[in-house]
Each structure stands twice: as structure tokens, then as C-alpha cells.
Amino acid sequence: MEPDTQENVFWYQGQAIAEKKQDQIVTRAAFSHANREYLIFDVEIFNEQERSILVTPEVMTLASETGAKRRAIDPEHMLLSMEVQQSRQEANAANAAIAGGIILVGAAVAVAVSDDGDNGSTESWTGDVVDDYDAVDVVVDAVLPAVALTLDFHQDPILSSPVSSLPLTNEALFWQETVLRRTTLRPGEHIRGLVAFPRFDEVRELIISIPVEQEEFIFRFQQQVIQP
């Protein structure tokens, strides 16, 4: 994947980056990488106006010459879907743990009734000591959130981060920290982030539309799909 020869292109570490300036807004676009689901582009926007502008990645599109369009993945919608899925998994784990805890408590009571010892520990019929790890502990362990890593991705130069260092698209961290999310740019500010589109393997020429306020930045890329 590379920008069309008609694009205004500069190079960084062997990678072609297309750049356009309209009404004191500078937009850059380069192909980052692909996986089985998405074509992922690295996009950077500079606000050189004297007023704030709003960048909204969910309105960006990837199109073919025939006009067929695919909208960029909305990171807020993706994160919400992941949170809902995680909540369901946590609820199922909690319910299963509580149900198991009731059975464990019942067994412990039965063993305690038949135990003549008074040392505070409970022995099962096998002679093993039952510890104090109960259903509540299981629930807590099931719902502990993953520790989020702090990334300075958005202020790094475009395509400065190797793909191997980025989170995978099935991880919430990818949609939280590396994608371009809705952002208000004040005068003199800029933002960089990844924009994911559904794959478009059947098309050789791709047109990316990046609307910013009243401007629309159009970038043409040439795609070659190599079958393994």
C-alpha cells in the first residue's frame, strides 16, 4: 500500500507519507499496517488556524473508484462494545463463583459437624486442610482490571512506532491509546493516531476521505494484495 504518484509525498524511514494543506489545516496520511480485519492508516492533523477545530475519525471513509465506501471504525463504539462484553463475562464469572461458593460452604459445614478438633482449621474426608479462599475471593480475582500502559503515541512523529510495539486490535488498549479519537485541536496544536477501516481486498485504488470542519482531505492510495 502506497500513496498514488500524484500525491504530495515525503519520505520517513523508507515510508511514503502524503500531505495536504487546506485553509491552514495540514493533514498527513500514511499506510501503517493490516491484519485479517482492518487496513490501518497513520493520520496526523495540524491546526494552524486561529480558532479551534474538531477532529472526528468516525466520519472518515475509505472508498473505491466506483463509489463503494467503508466508514472508519468508531473507537468509542468499539470500546463500548468491549466494555459490555467484559461486563457480561464478569457477571457470568461472579454467578458461577457464587453458585460454587454455596456448594463449598455446604460441604464445609458438613465436615465441621463431624470434626472434633478445635484448632480453627477444617479437614475434609481426605485429610486436606480447607483454606479461607472462598467465593468472594474468586469473584474479586475474576474482575480485576488489566493495568493500562501509558503511551506517548499521539505526540510522536507519524510512523515512528514499529507495528510490533502496538497493541492488537482485539485489545482495548489499541482503541484507547493508539487510534485517533474525537479531539478538539486548539490553535497551534496537532494530533496523530491510527484510523482503522474494514479491509477492501477487491479494490486496487483506494480513496481516503478525511473531513475536518468545512474541509475535506482526499488521499489516493494504490493497493496490491499478495496471496500467500
Quote the pTM value: 0.72
The domain defined by 2-77+153-222 carries CATH number 1.10.357: no
b/e 103-135 (16+ beta carbons within 10 angstroms → b): ebeeeeeeeeeeeeeeeeebeeeeeeeeeeeeb
pLDDT, averaged in runs of 10, over the chain (228 residues):
94 91 96 95 97 96 92 93 76 66 55 51 42 43 40 80 89 91 96 95 94 96 87
| Residue 141 pLDDT | 44
Cα separation values, 221 from 2, 194, 211, Å: 5, 16, 17
The residues spanned by each domain of the chain are 2-77+153-222, 81-143
In whole angstroms, what is the distance from residue 198 CA to residue 196 CA?
7
